[in-house]
Amino acid sequence: MVDAQYELPVAFTVTKASTSDVKEGHTLIDRLAKEQPALVERCEALLADKAYDDTKLIVKLWDEHRIKPVIDIRNQWRDGEETRVLAGKDNVVYDY
């Protein structure tokens, strides 16, 4: 994870290539919130690629930390839908 304002790393971990990105994302967010709560408090957005497209991570970012997730969605829609409402959130809609 990098602080975009200062372009410096704020958290990292080295894992095997087979380790899930999204599981590690949860771990990094939790660790950063514990070790550097002031940094998490001033964070406005988290930008990530589609490997981090996970409802639980999105909910954690917003509900627990008020961080806006800006994450590309995985193309797994097979039914032709153009939009989807995020479960439990009437005002948050995915738009593929």
pTM of the model: 0.72
Per-residue pLDDT of the chain (96 residues; tens, 9 = 90+): 998 888 999 999 999 999 999 999 999 999 999 999 999 999 999 999 988 999 999 999 999 999 999 988 776 666 766 676 777 777 777 665
Q: What is the pLDDT of residue 77?
A: 61
Beta strand segments in 15-61, E? 45-48
Helix (H, G, I), strand (E, B) or coil at 61: helix
Q: What is the pLDDT of residue 92?
A: 77
